[in-house]
Chain A
Amino acid sequence: ACAFYSVDLYCNTFSCSRSYSVFLRTHGSTMWGIFSETEGAGAGDSPSLRQSVRKNLDFEPLSTTALILEQRPPNLPAKPAEEAEKHQQQYEEMVAQAKKRELKEAQKRKKQLEDRVKQEESIGNAALCWSQEILPNWTTTRSSKRVRELWWQGVPPSVRGRVWSLAIGNDLNITHDSGSSHADREASLELIKLDISRTFPSLCIFQKGGPYHDVLHSILGAYTCYRPDVGYMLTYFAAFEVFFEENLPKLFAHFKSNNLTPDIYLIDWIFTLYSKSLPLDVACRVWDVFCRDGEEFLFRTALGILRLYEDVLTHMDFIHNAQFLTRLPEHINTHTLFSSISAVSMSCRNGRWSQVLQALQKDPERASPVLKR
């Protein structure tokens, strides 16, 4: 006995007041009411009706906004009073529920907006703080507790480039010239080509023809010239295992019993500085602190990732673990990851990271037995 009209119909008639009034006149006698709680919107009283409709649009869910037939058309027997009351009640409940839902969603939207504004504000404040206070006094501020904390929270993109280049420095005195000339001389051009192709492949900016292809090419070329020794990773794996066992003994034991050695996932992560395994925004945050804390942070990040997924990892066998770790979930939340990393301790009974590493370098016999030949 109820007739609902779709939003389309309603909007069409509403947008043109002429057709709207025609509509009302035609059906006036059948006691059409507007899907509305506001009383006094009598049929044919088009201005006040429109007003009430406007008012109701603030809370009414658009998808169910419609005209409703409260009583049966005159050619049919009238509804019993009881039934009419019941329908009225059902109708009111529906409206109340829809209102509630709409209100809830509006609140959620408001909260999201507030959060976004808050986040932008804090990025803005941090950017201001970085550019006006920290960067001009870099040498004195860089190791202060406050700056270190701000740094951990992520360097604002607007100052990121400057912070990174200050933190990294240029001990090798690389210039634009030395970059390209070394790259040209270097015989490992093929390798560099491959390295470039695996740098954020989905972003395409580093790929051939992309805006940063040539820049990255010459930087990598220069680097391989200066540091041909980089590649001795076995000691690092051994040091990593020391901290792994200390921080996550249960997972460490599980990996051990499955013969899952750190090289299986660490090469993938460390070799590319996480540019292959983490999304760009997360990787940037890792690089922020990598610039602050050095290579130690790359291994701390690795432990943070393992810690984050400890529960799932302890329930998987070798192949699933290996696949999971070399293809990390695409949506890693930066905040969750960083709180996991911050819970990783980089000092153990054998000392801090650098001390453990040094001890292992002096005594390579203690390096990972699996990889030793």
Chain B
Amino acid sequence: MEAIWLYQFRLIVIGDSTVGKSCLIRRFTEGRFAQVSDPTVGVDFFSRLVEIEPGKRIKLQIWDTAGQERFRSITRAYYRNSVGGLLLFDITNRRSFQNVHEWLEEARSHVQPHSIVFLLVGHKCDLDAQRQVSQQEAEKLAAAYGMRYVETSARDAINVERAFTELTRDIFELVKRGDITIQEGWEGVKSGFVPNVVHSSEEVTKSDRRCLC
């Protein structure tokens, strides 16, 4: 039987509140930009198919978390079951860039025993005149953490597809190489052929993946 999608990846989108997480996801999943958007309460859910190679589709299940501190105790629990993450900051808000380190620490301490492939996203790049974080500076930081860096704009639809597709490709490569495996009781990656596939005990215990975040 031909599956609609090869794998399902669960992605988590994090970053300070008001950096534009929900807008970026909406642009990616719904193709539109809403000038006014409500702050996220807890978490919101989105999904979209991405074709990484002709005929090879990945279903992305995207968890849009609330950036506010008060929801942190809840959203923390969502790292563990994510295979990938977009860490957003707002290029016009220096503080949100300074908090990137804190977000990574937070993710790292709650993702065990798994790991998350992160992509650093400098959002609102259409507002170049108000820029407070230079591209070089952000690239340097991303390199230090072993992440890719992309600048996006949900308003002008800049690099939105690229950001999600590159992250998906990176994860797919790791899955192909066996660095990331499907595991029972872990929601990060699921196979599209047999949902909730139970692998051999050998595969289940093979969780010594290198830390990617």
Q: Which residues of A contact B17 (CB under 8 A)?
A: 194
Q: Which residues of B contact A7 (CB under 8 A)?
A: none
15 A/B residue pairs, CB under 8 Å, sorted by A: A191-B68, A194-B17, A194-B68, A198-B38, A198-B41, A234-B73, A263-B77, A267-B41, A319-B61, A323-B45, A323-B46, A326-B45, A370-B77, A371-B74, A373-B77
Q: In whole angstroms, how far apart are the Cα atoms of A318 and B39 in the complex?
A: 23
Minimum C-beta distance from A147 to chain B (A): 34
Interface presence of B42 (CB below 8 A) = yes
Name A residues whose Cβ lies closer than 8 Å to a Cβ of B.
191, 194-195, 197-198, 201, 231, 233-234, 259, 263-264, 267-268, 271-272, 276, 318-319, 322-323, 326, 370-371, 373
Could you tell me how many residues of chain B have their Cβ less than 8 Å away from some Cβ of chain A? Answer: 24
Q: Is the CB of A319 within 8 A of B74?
A: no
A318 neighbours in B (Cβ, 8 Å): 61
Q: Are A267 and B42 in contact (CB under 8 A)?
A: yes
Contacts of A201 in B (CB 8 A): 36, 38
Q: How far is the CA of A370 from the CA of B70 in the complex (A)?
A: 19
Contact of A268 among B41, B46, B77, B110 (CB under 8 A): B41
Q: How far is the CB of A212 from chain B (nearest CB, A)?
A: 17
Residue of A nearest to B62 (CB): A319
Partner of B45, one of A263, A319, A370: A319
Chain B nearest Cβ from A171, distance in angstroms: 24
Asked if A373 contacts B38 (CB within 8 A), the reply is no
A322 / chain B contacts, CB cutoff of 8 Å: 45
Task: Decide yes or no whether B104 CB sits under 8 A from chain A.
Answer: no
B42–A263 CB distance below 8 A: yes
The CA-CA distance from A272 to B39 in the complex, in Å, is: 12
Residues of chain A contacted by B18 (CB below 8 angstroms): 194
Top 8 A-B residue pairs of the complex, sorted by shortest distance between their CB atoms: A267-B42, A322-B45, A194-B39, A198-B38, A371-B77, A323-B45, A268-B41, A319-B47
CA distance A162 to B69 in the complex (A): 35
Complex-state Cα separation, A84 to B118, whole angstroms: 83
- Chain A nearest CB from B7 CB (Å) reads 14
Residue of A nearest to B185 (CB): A259
CA of A342 to CA of B130 in the docked complex: distance in angstroms?
A: 54
A221 to chain B, nearest CB (A): 15
CB <8 Å contact, A373 and B41:
no
Known: A201-B36, A231-B73, A259-B187. A271 touches B42 (CB 8 A): yes
| B-chain residues with CB within 8 Å of residue A191 when the two chains form the complex | 68-70
Q: Let me know if B38 and A197 touch, CB within 8 A.
A: yes
Say yes or no: B43 contacts A373, CB within 8 Å.
no
**Distance between Cα atoms of A201 and B39 in the complex (Å):** 10
CB distance from A269 to the nearest CB of B (A): 9
Asked if B173 CB lies within 8 Å of chain A CBs, one says no
Q: For the complex, what is the distance from the CA of A108 to the CA of B14, rounded to whole Å?
A: 54
Interface pair A263/B74, CB less than 8 Å apart: yes
Residue of B42, B46, B70, B187 contacting most chain A CB atoms (<10 Å): B42
The residues of B that contact A276 with a CB separation of less than 8 Å are 38, 41
Neighbour of B42 across the interface among A195, A231, A268, A319, CB < 8 A: A268
Known A-B contacts A201-B38, A259-B187, A276-B38; A264 and B43 likewise in contact (beta carbons under 8 Å)? yes
Please measure, in the bound complex, the distance between the C-alpha atom of A191 and the C-alpha atom of B71, giving whole angstroms.
11
A267 touching B77, Cβ below 8 Å: no
Q: Give the complex CA separation of A267 and B41 in angstroms.
A: 7
How many Å lie between the Cα of A56 and that of B69 in the bound state?
Answer: 71
A370-B77 Cα distance, complex, nearest whole Å: 8
- Tell me if B76 is interfacial: C-beta within 8 Å of chain A: yes
Q: With an 8 A cutoff between CB atoms, is B203 at the interface?
A: no
A contact residues around B42 at 8 Å (CB): 263-264, 267-268, 271
